[in-house]
Amino acid sequence: MSALLNARGLFKAYGKIPVLRQVDIAIAPEEGHVVIGPNGAGKTTLFKVLTGEVIADAGQIVFRGDDITRLPAHARVHRGFGRTFQVARVFGKLTVRDNLQLACEARQRRANPLAGLSAAQARTIAAQLDALLLETALERQADAIAGALAYGDRKRLELAMVLALDPAILFLDEPTAGMSAAERQATVQLLQRVRRERRLALLLTEHDMDVVFGLADRISVLHHGELIASGTPQQIRDNPRVREVYLGDEAAHA
Ligand SMILES: Nc1ncnc2c1ncn2[C@@H]1O[C@H](COP(=O)(O)OP(=O)(O)OP(=O)(O)O)[C@@H](O)[C@H]1O
């Protein structure tokens, strides 16, 4: 199957210090792909380069057959990118419902951002909003102020807002950071269900090995900005170099 997203030879330096060195990564449609590596390996930088927050110094990124290497982040969102952050980005003073209303309106206004909404579009938004509340189990919190939500609920709201834009690929930067074991497990289940039902590709960074092995069809390993391995979870578990620099004995028992 041809790749949904195919990046080749990505290079990025901050000043004179290279942070990504000739990184290749390919994501198939509907694939769950996890990038792992020690702190400072370049995972977040790789995310930023792929999503367009930072433009690579060299290399090429192709999405659905189009070269998007130099497109800014918002243009990549228009083409089907969705992204969540380590610290959830929601409008803290608005209710859950109003946050989702804004996200659903943004999708409806994509073709013409300045046009008013028709009655038919308003009905579509209301239906989408209810479906998103259900999908992310936020119905009971619909009228709560987003800034007062519990941590896991806030992360689910951020996910719902990204899903409102109907992405083809979701980028999740440490989606379970700061969560309890129970919240992590619930997040993995939610992401698996959303991915299956929406036929989404996922690309995530993660430190928790239960989450990594719970969501990955393939894993890529970064070390000092270099991709040292990419393969199935079993191939990564069995890779001596990966065990040496990152997994240690942990994965053997995962
Ligand atoms: N804007 C920046 N300017 C200069 N150096 C940076 C910048 N962003 C990141 N770095 C450096 O680049 C290297 C890679 O950082 P990055 O955040 O991509 O790593 P990471 O693998 O995501 O780490 P972590 O697991 O701790 O989040 C680090 O040495 C970091 O200090």
Is 76 among the domain residues? yes
Does a structural domain hold residue 137?
Answer: no
Does residue 242 belong to any structural domain of this protein? yes
Residues paired with 201 in a beta bridge: 169
Which residue range is the domain that position 172 belongs to? Answer: 5-80+167-252
Residue whose pair of structure tokens reads 């977040």 in the numeric block: 44
Q: Model confidence over 138-153: pLDDT tens digits?
A: 999 999 999 999 988 9
Q: What is the DSSP letter of 145?
A: B
d(CA 14, CA 5): 24
Give, using CA atoms, the residue closest to atom 13 of ligand 1. Answer: 40
Ligand 1 centroid to 212 CA: how many Å? Answer: 20
Answer yes or no: is 19 within a domain: yes
- What average pLDDT does this structure show over 180-189? 92
Across-strand partners of 231? 219
The CATH number assigned to the domain holding 38 equals 3.40.50.300
- Tens of pLDDT, residue by residue over 209-243, are 999 999 999 999 999 999 999 999 999 999 999 98
Task: Kindly state if the Cβ of 14 falls inside 6 Å of ligand 1.
Answer: yes
Flag whether 74 is in a domain. yes
Q: Identify which of 12, 16, 19, 212 to mutate to test ligand 1's pocket (most ligand atoms within 8 A of the CB).
A: 19
Q: Is residue 117 part of a domain?
A: no
Q: How many domains does the chain have?
A: 1
What interface predicted TM-score (ipTM) does this complex get? 0.93
Q: Is the pLDDT of residue 1 over 70?
A: no
Encode pLDDT of 65-86 as tens digits. 999 999 999 999 999 999 887 7
CA distance 83 to 161: 10
- Does residue 227 fall inside a structural domain? yes
- pTM for the model stands at 0.90
| Structure-block tokens of residue 192 | 């698996």
Could you tell me if the CB of 40 is within 6 A of ligand 1? yes
Tell me the C-alpha distance between 56 and 45, whole Å. Answer: 10
CA dist., res. 20 & res. 146, Å (int): 36
Residue 73 lies in a domain: yes
Residue 165 structure tokens: 């834009």
Whether 220 is in the pocket of ligand 1, judged by its Cβ within 6 Å, is: no
Which atom number of ligand 1 is nearest to the Cα of residue 44? 22
